[in-house]
Amino acid sequence: GIEASLRRIAQYDHWSQTIRRSILPDSKADLLLFGNAERAVVEVAHRVAAGEDIKQITDIRGTAYMRQGIPEGWTVLDSSEIDADKSLVHPQTDPYADTSAKDKQGCGDKNNQTKPSKIDPNQGAVQV
């Protein structure tokens, strides 16, 4: 259910006021599907029905699984340092700011003297 999908990684449990680890080691499940998971369920079912070992299914979006060790070519980052460069943070916009002065220009050019074309369906011609 929703509790399992929230616990695909460590999660703060409000009721027990503790941080609970991922549900994967506790449940001994091979694969955890989270989110809407409609397509993931169908793909897992088709691949298992085709004889693929569920432990080898590690490439479906919306799934989580346990892994032994760090895969070759992967790097472990300290999560507290990922957003350390504050220059990359965009300034927050004021949702109540009056931006109507910028919008008064409009999208048209008032000096444009182009007249619209008129089509007469009875004549089958365009009048310019």
Q: Is there a domain that residue 23 lies in?
A: yes
Q: Is there a domain that residue 20 lies in?
A: yes
Q: Which residue has the higher pLDDT, 92 or 111?
A: 92
Q: Is there a domain that residue 59 lies in?
A: yes
What pLDDT shows up at residue 53? 96
Rounded to an integer, the average pLDDT of 40-65 is 94
Please give the residue range of the domain that contains residue 50: 1-66
Backbone angles phi, psi at 85, to 5 degrees: -80, 95
Q: How distant, in Å, are the alpha carbons of 7, 31, 37, 52, 65 from that of 41?
A: 18, 11, 6, 14, 14
Q: Is there a domain that residue 54 lies in?
A: yes
Q: Is there a domain that residue 60 lies in?
A: yes
Torsion of CA 45, 38, 9, 64, to 10 degrees: 30
Q: Is there a domain that residue 91 lies in?
A: no
What pLDDT shows up at residue 123? 64
d(CA 30, CA 91): 42
Q: How many domains does the chain have?
A: 1
What pLDDT shows up at residue 107? 58
Over 90: is that where the pLDDT of 96 sits?
no
Q: Which residue has the higher pLDDT, 23 or 91?
A: 23
| Both tokens assigned to 59 | 């490439």
Q: Is there a domain that residue 61 lies in?
A: yes
Q: Is there a domain that residue 56 lies in?
A: yes
